[in-house]
Structure 1
Amino acid sequence: MKRTFAAVAVAGIAAGCLVMPSAAAAPATGFTPAPIHWGDCTTSKLEAAGAQCGFLAVPLDYADPGGAKISLAVSRVEHKTARSQGVMLVNPGGPGASGLGLSVLGRSVPDHAGDAYDWIGFDPRGVGSSRPALSCDPNHFRYDRPPYVPATPRLEQSWLDLSKSYAAACAKNGALLQHLKTTDVAQDMESLRKALGEEQINYYGFSYGTYLGQVYATLYPQRVRRMVLDSSVDPRDVWYRANLNQDVAFNRNIKIYFAWLARYDSVYHLGATEDAVERLWYGQLAALTTDPAGGLIGGDEWTDVFLQAGYYRSGWVKLADAFADWVHEGKWQDLKSLYDATGKGGDNGFAAYLGVQCTDVQWPVNWDRWRLDNWSAYLRAPFETWGNAWFNAPCLFWPAEAGTPVTVDGSKVAGALLIDETLDAATPYAGSLEVRRLFPHASLIAEPGGTTHADSLSGDACVDDQVADYLAKGALPARKPGDHADTTCAPLPDPVPAGASAAKASG
């Protein structure tokens, strides 16, 4: 669901497995974790924040709490006030993203409102520094991949073969592959609560982390104190439909980016209208598909690089510079650096993403369904549709049995703060409206017209001050009747490139 080079939040988806029921009853695990033995952290960022690190042992299979154990990597930055407001668990999304470093997030909350919490970062099972960590095929995202758009039966079969091969390579992870559902991770959070000796947790989730929060709150509503969900996943659409919805949304957002480039044609000379920039971009896609820049940056890499423009406006200038340097001077090295920074070469994150998405719910098992749905989406949204389809296609062959998602129900949760930009492409805004409906004591802050994904605590004072108020005092914006946001904030303004004229900048 989330593939990004942005930092932290900000910075998109078996035989013998435990299939969780769809009812909202908390699973009885009978597992009591041992306390975490805290020690020094090994990363400079965590060291500088005074964090402590350790491991939490949890059951591989919560249906067999006395059986095999795995270890979750955990970090903690303790509260700095005389009175503690408890622990704040954080998840950055993905699924498959490392959250170990997110224990530093508290310092981004305005007015020191985060100082009263113990901020807890953790790598979910199979991810990052947790043990064991998933790995399938580190060469899957090599530079010589077939073009995304399967214009011929041969290209389609090439991608199906690659997807089947990747799924088969993942089978070497053994029993872990059977226990990677969101429900498993939610149970790990409950074990983490117990190990920390807390009656309740506070929780801050971004992107996929909002779905994890929804599931935890459904299973353990009495354990939720305060909860912030930034850019909510629509629980009705996990996960096949969610990815098709993304295709349409990202196509809209790339057009918004093309219009921004046209606005600054005096700087970039890539076209004076959105249509002109779009024609140039797709022309480069076709050319690079035939003749990769530097023998490395083909049409697939070109698409992957510019997908980031649909996620985050903060990278628009850097992408525009690389676009212009390639078109006008033939410089491709920055494109390679941007591609490498997407993290697509990171096998662990991709494997863990699939491990969750492919088993949370059964994907269509008939390729004809995928082919029809994705060609239909492509006709409306050509930018990302087939790249997204092949990113998820290993689910067609996944060597672990799918489960049944919980029916999300937040009615027993005392309160939650929801945040979303209305043109968020990775988790379309309809998801936040649906979560607001399912959590009747929650309030939603909307940012009309914003296209950035999961960017709270990134400098928008209107949003961040309300986060601080909620964390400090439990104060939520007054909930309004109807199916809409409870309050709004203007999103951060679009970036202005160096050298832009004042007239263009004021637009």
Structure 2
Amino acid sequence: MRKTRGSRFAAALAVTTLTVLGVAACDSADDEDSPAQPAALAWGACPAAAPGTTRDPRLTCAKVKVPLDYSRPDRASIEVVISRLGAADPAKRHGVLLLNPGGPALPGLDTPGAMAPTLPKPVLDGYDLIGFDPRGVGTSTPQSCGLENPSVAALFPYPAADGSIDANVQAARATAAKCAATAGENLRYFTTANTARDLDRVREALGEAKISYWGQSYGTYLGTVYSALFPDRTDRVILEGNVDPAHVWAGEAASWSKGMAERFPDAAAVAAAQNGALGLGATPAEVTRTYLALADRLDHQPASVPGTPQSLSGAMLRGVTYALLIHNNTLPVLAQVWKAAGDLADGRVTDADGAVLKQVFADGPAAPGVPADNQATMFLALTCGDAEWSHDVGAYARATAADRTAWPLTAGMPANIWPCAFWPQPVEKPVTVTGQGPRNTLILQNRRDHATPWDSGLGLRHALGNRAAFVGVGNGGHYVYHEGSACADTATTAFLDTGRLPEKDLDCTDVTTQ
């Protein structure tokens, strides 16, 4: 995965979506008359980064105090940490561009430094690039459920080898109870709507009348919610790899099955082209059959990974596959992983196999002061707290069985039960997203995106109507910009530079999978 776009395997696994709260006191913070003279920001050194993380030395950071609960803004407060990479040419400065790398629950302080090398001079000259750790994430009042397994991937509810979801039900109930007991009532206020309200406090603190915004993956939903709550405070909005606001979040998760079926053939074709070395099959169809048989085998008998405390199960193989499908340049690595997994299951692991597996299963440490389970905790807080899920256990069992039959690559996981089925009722309903507002949004969507599939991008396009222009790219993977489409890249940077959207939706077919 490309380091400039949040490349760690664990981060990629987290990708993995509407009326305003009917309380007058809450919406008072959203009015045009809200406080407009915040205390000056104290820019200085950024919090310590996670070990092994490369940070742009030009970044400076500051803290913004925000209410925990916007319906009671005079009570408890929390802190949101933001970062800044100043415009390269102050004389040409247009404004600020807030960046969010998605997740849900990825930290974003380093996003400006990661994105800057991919942006042309007019954009770097014209914008202060602003990163932020969203509320509850990273250094912004980090939350923790005290989960024993801190991996987001461990939350994905793959059924048992025989399709039973009994263990998933038990695990989901236990995880929800653990969060309630450890993180407590306050976790209910760590939602996307409140994060969007935080962004408006950030806008005020920066002294800007409007903000431009670039959100990727989950960040598209955050940007959509911000634009719905504060339409007159948005300047230029880019949404890349998109969440359908009508399907938050159970429906978005359910879309992964079809998305995987659309994306998987790209990787299978790469493996088939190396059949002489890998022995996985001479055609994409043969590789797919090999993969399904291997996953089923590991479901029944997981294999220990030499040099690690891990065992490779069918669920883990599917999770790694999901992660490595994020980018086209990791498809050859994925083919090597499949070969190594097959050797492991056969009890014959070469040195090359071991090196591949150790790389895949290596977990990056959290930043100092950030709980190990922070991302997993906030993944749950957002996906369970933004919208209510069904509580019907029997319905999950039926849906999982049907999904396993229709979409064997995902084995029923996307339709299965999550801790959200046992989560407290959300503090508010999802924010309504409509086509009312300025025409200032560019939607970037790959046709074969398994994390936020094509249909999801079309759903957002439909919801925003004339407010948006849609750029569809004939590519696989989760990211669009700087992934090989000159057509999409030109439309993106021209919009940031000039503020002009394409007059009509664009069909960019200048990219194909390697």
Place the TM-score, normalised by the shorter chain, in its bin. Answer: 0.7 to 0.9
Question: Given the alignment of the two structures, is residue 352 of structure 1 paired with residue 367 of structure 2, yes or no?
Answer: no
In structure 2, distance between residues paired with 1:401 and 1:286: 37
In structure 2, distance between residues paired with 1:310 and 1:107: 23
Match of 1:440 among 466, 469, 483: 466
In structure 1, distance between residues paired with 2:154 and 2:483: 36
In structure 2, distance between residues paired with 1:48 and 1:142: 27
In structure 2, distance between residues paired with 1:45 and 1:145: 25
Amino acid at match of 2:490: D
Tell me which residue corresponds to 1:298. 313
Q: Which moved more, 1:344-353 or 1:413-422?
A: 344-353
Q: Which moved more, 1:50-59 or 1:463-472?
A: 463-472
Tell me which residue corresponds to 1:386. 412
Cα 1:145–1:112 change in 2 (3 A) is closer
Q: Which moved more, 1:57-66 or 1:261-270?
A: 261-270
**C-alpha deviation, 1:385, in angstroms:** 4.5
**C-alpha deviation, 1:212, in angstroms:** 1.0
Tell me which residue corresponds to 1:117. 127
Match of 1:307 among 322, 325, 331: 322
In structure 2, distance between residues paired with 1:144 and 1:235: 25
Match of 1:361 among 387, 390, 413: 387
Unaligned stretches of 5+ residues in structure 2:
none
Q: CA contact under 8 A between 2:159 and 2:168: conserved in structure 1?
A: no
Question: Given the alignment of the two structures, is residue 219 of structure 1 paired with residue 229 of structure 2, yes or no?
Answer: yes
Question: Given the alignment of the two structures, is residue 474 of structure 1 paired with residue 499 of structure 2, yes or no?
Answer: yes
Amino acid at match of 1:276: E
Q: CA contact under 8 A between 1:20 and 1:403: conserved in structure 2?
A: yes
Q: CA contact under 8 A between 1:244 and 1:385: conserved in structure 2?
A: no
**SS of the residue 1:214 aligns to:** helix
Unaligned stretches of 5+ residues in structure 1:
14-18, 480-484, 496-507
Question: Given the alignment of the two structures, is residue 370 of structure 1 paired with residue 367 of structure 2, yes or no?
Answer: no
Supply the RMSD in Å over aligned alpha carbons: 3.0
Q: Which residues of 2 match residues 98-497 of structure 1 at below 5 A?
A: 98-104=107-113, 105-139=115-149, 141=151, 148-151=158-161, 156-171=165-180, 172-289=182-299, 290-294=301-305, 296-328=311-343, 329-330=348-349, 331-332=353-354, 334-340=356-362, 347-389=373-415, 393-399=418-424, 401=426, 403-437=428-462, 438-448=464-474, 450-479=475-504, 485-491=505-511, 493-495=512-514
Amino acid at match of 1:305: V
**C-alpha deviation, 1:386, in angstroms:** 3.5
Amino acid at match of 2:69: D
Tell me which residue corresponds to 2:41. 36
Amino acid at match of 1:418: I
Q: In the TM superposition, what whole-angstrom CA distance separates every residue of 1:161-204 from its partner, at most 9, and x where no partner exists?
A: 22222111212212331102211011001010001110000000
**SS of the residue 2:457 aligns to:** helix
Amino acid at match of 1:381: W
Amino acid at match of 1:71: E
In structure 2, distance between residues paired with 1:212 and 1:69: 21
Q: CA contact under 8 A between 1:114 and 1:468: conserved in structure 2?
A: no
Tell me which residue corresponds to 2:5. 8
**SS of the residue 2:388 aligns to:** coil
**C-alpha deviation, 1:217, in angstroms:** 0.7
**SS of the residue 1:139 aligns to:** coil
**C-alpha deviation, 1:343, in angstroms:** 9.5
Provide the aligned length of Structure 1 versus Structure 2: 477
**SS of the residue 2:215 aligns to:** strand
Question: Given the alignment of the two structures, is residue 58 of structure 1 paired with residue 66 of structure 2, yes or no?
Answer: yes
Q: In the TM superposition, what whole-angstrom CA distance separates every residue of 1:90-113 from its partner, at most 9, and x where no partner exists?
A: 111121111111122234212442
**C-alpha deviation, 1:5, in angstroms:** 9.1
**C-alpha deviation, 1:143, in angstroms:** 11
In structure 2, distance between residues paired with 1:181 and 1:121: 18
Q: CA contact under 8 A between 2:485 and 2:508: conserved in structure 1?
A: no
**C-alpha deviation, 1:358, in angstroms:** 0.7
Amino acid at match of 2:426: E
**C-alpha deviation, 1:134, in angstroms:** 3.1
Amino acid at match of 1:334: V
Q: Which moved more, 1:66-75 or 1:457-466?
A: 457-466
In structure 2, distance between residues paired with 1:264 and 1:402: 52
Q: CA contact under 8 A between 1:77 and 1:103: conserved in structure 2?
A: yes
Q: CA contact under 8 A between 1:144 and 1:296: conserved in structure 2?
A: no
In structure 1, distance between residues paired with 2:502 and 2:204: 31
In structure 1, distance between residues paired with 2:155 and 2:478: 28
Amino acid at match of 1:293: S
**SS of the residue 2:458 aligns to:** helix
Cα 1:174–1:102 change in 2 (3 A) is same
Q: CA contact under 8 A between 1:5 and 1:343: conserved in structure 2?
A: no
**C-alpha deviation, 1:456, in angstroms:** 1.2
Q: CA contact under 8 A between 1:110 and 1:465: conserved in structure 2?
A: no
Q: Which moved more, 1:437-446 or 1:118-127?
A: 437-446
Amino acid at match of 2:401: W
**SS of the residue 2:27 aligns to:** coil
Cα 1:129–1:278 change in 2 (3 A) is same
In structure 1, distance between residues paired with 2:252 and 2:311: 31
Q: CA contact under 8 A between 2:399 and 2:415: conserved in structure 1?
A: no
Cα 1:442–1:150 change in 2 (3 A) is same
Q: Which moved more, 1:91-100 or 1:28-37?
A: 28-37
Tell me which residue corresponds to 1:503. none
Amino acid at match of 1:324: K
Q: In the TM superposition, what whole-angstrom CA distance separates every residue of 1:454-495 from its partner, at most 9, and x where no partner exists?
A: 23134533322222111111122222xxxxx3342422x434
Q: In the TM superposition, what whole-angstrom CA distance separates every residue of 1:59-84 from its partner, at most 9, and x where no partner exists?
A: 00111111111111211101111121
The TM-score, its normalising length taken from structure 2, stands at 0.84
Tell me which residue corresponds to 2:82. 74
In structure 2, distance between residues paired with 1:439 and 1:279: 41
**C-alpha deviation, 1:20, in angstroms:** 3.4
Q: CA contact under 8 A between 1:200 and 1:224: conserved in structure 2?
A: yes
